[in-house]
Amino acid sequence: MQTSKTVVVITLLPVLLLTGCDISEFMAEDANIIKLTGIVILWFFLPLLAWSYHKFRRPRREAEIHRVFDILRLDKTVREAFDSEDSGTFLSWAVFYTSIVSLISMAVLLFPSELGIVELPAVKVGDTEFPRPGSRLVMGMALLGGYVWGIQHLLARYSRNDLLPVVYYQLSSRMILAGVVSVALYNGYSALIGGSDEAFGMDAWPVIGLLVGMFPQRGLRWLTDRVPFLSPKSESSVIPSPLDLVEGIQSEDILRFNEMGISDCYNLARADYIPLVLRTPYSARELLDWILQAKLCALFTESLPELRQNGVRTALDLKKLTPEDITTMAQGTKLTERGLTQGRELIDRDEEVDRLQAAAAKLSHYLRDKHALDDD
């Protein structure tokens, strides 16, 4: 038994040094060995996934990008501009930084007494202390929730051959945001709701912290909605057109588009097609369908259900409507004939629709012989 403990401690020596714990005490505590083993198992997922991606998945992604270069006949300068962002060096630094953040976060949760931070350092604010007792536990659970969500997100990106260094940095920033938001919620909840927080009780706050860690933006939105100067009023003339209006786009896809600076259908409708093909894991046909849907969403955000019920899913479907089709559709729905005609005219004048179709037709072919490349 003693020998097995020694082997575990030697294996976990980096974590022991990081937490600043007395190694001799850990030799005598089975519970600490179990907790440290759990930390290493959770942490080891980060470098293992990065190594596996760099070794097995990255070559496939590079081959796909080179295929796009060949089909579209992009010159060398363009190739350099869209060179792969997941090189081994960048990915290694990202994994290293995320590992530090993750190990410290789990140590704060599982080894508070050994680190000397049973509670977070408090300051006196009037007659109260901030943060109040229990904040360390709530924050630790939020950090754990952020990490659990993050490894699921990493695995999803790995399966799509899209594990870039920025994904690891996002995991780190998400954990930090989750910790800050959870502490703010725990300490300011009663003041923000204008009453007592006895409805939750201390037993519920660790669970709330875990959920905030998995969905920190929702916790942040709850806070900003209750602080007037943090909730600027939006222009009433601007109709929200979120990306989830596009059929086929899931929450993971929305996060990926946000990385590209695309936050709604208006942005997606005007996005450059070729950069999206090169920098995202989606197929040419899939992106074409989404962009054409986004163009329709940007024109008819509030009327999308009725359009789809009448077989109009994308801007291309709207473009194919005849005057008789428009008249018939206007009679059976709340859509006006004038609005449909104006929308179709806008699509007709949009030369990008034709270019999108031409580019997608080329990229959808996997034959790379001379005839396939020259077939315009």
For residue 236, tell me if it sits in a domain.
no
- Do 263 and 200 lie in one domain? The reply is no
For residue 141, tell me if it sits in a domain.
yes
Beta carbons of 238 and 258 less than 8 angstroms apart? no
Task: Sort 27 into a burial class: Cβ within 10 Å, 0-12 / 13-18 / 19+.
Answer: middle
- Do 217 and 357 lie in one domain? The reply is no
311-352 residue pLDDT tens: 889 988 888 888 888 888 888 778 888 888 888 888 888 888
Query: What integer pLDDT is reported at residue 153 of this predicted model?
Result: 92
Beta carbons of 140 and 109 less than 8 angstroms apart? yes
Give the count of beta carbons closer than 10 Å to the beta carbon of residue 231: 12
Integer CA distances (angstroms), 94 to 83, 97, 166, 171, 226, in order: 18, 5, 7, 10, 35
- Do 36 and 173 lie in one domain? The reply is yes
- Do 222 and 337 lie in one domain? The reply is no
What DSSP string describes 69-114?
HHHHT--HHHHHHT--S--HHHHHHHHHHHHHHHHHHHHHHH-HHH
Domain edge (last residue) among 209, 230, 251: 230
- Do 211 and 292 lie in one domain? The reply is no
Determine the 3-state secondary structure of 272 from DSSP.
coil
Write down the residue that tokens 């209750």 correspond to.
226
The neighbouring-strand residues paired with 124 are 129
Write down the residue that tokens 């594990």 correspond to.
163
- Do 183 and 250 lie in one domain? The reply is no
Nearest 5°: the CA angle 28, 148, 162 is 130
Determine the 3-state secondary structure of 364 from DSSP.
coil
- Do 205 and 281 lie in one domain? The reply is no
- Do 152 and 17 lie in one domain? The reply is yes
Task: Sort 40 into a burial class: Cβ within 10 Å, 0-12 / 13-18 / 19+.
Answer: middle
- Do 175 and 137 lie in one domain? The reply is yes
For residue 94, tell me if it sits in a domain.
yes
N- to C-terminal Cα separation, the chain: 72
Give the count of beta carbons closer than 10 Å to the beta carbon of residue 301: 16
- Do 216 and 276 lie in one domain? The reply is no
What is the block-wise mean pLDDT of the chain (376 residues), using blocks of 10 residues?
Answer: 49 54 56 80 92 87 79 71 65 92 90 81 79 89 94 92 90 93 84 61 82 85 69 62 91 89 92 86 88 91 87 89 87 83 88 81 57 44
Residue type, position 237, single letter: S
Distance, in Å, from the CA atom of 260 to the CA atom of 254, rounded to the nearest integer, reads 10
pTM: 0.77
Q: Which domain holds residue 225?
A: 2-230
260-303 residue pLDDT tens: 889 999 999 999 888 888 888 888 888 989 999 999 998 888 88
Sign, CA dihedral 93-99-102-105, equals negative
The domain total for the chain is 2
- Do 16 and 91 lie in one domain? The reply is yes
- Do 218 and 316 lie in one domain? The reply is no
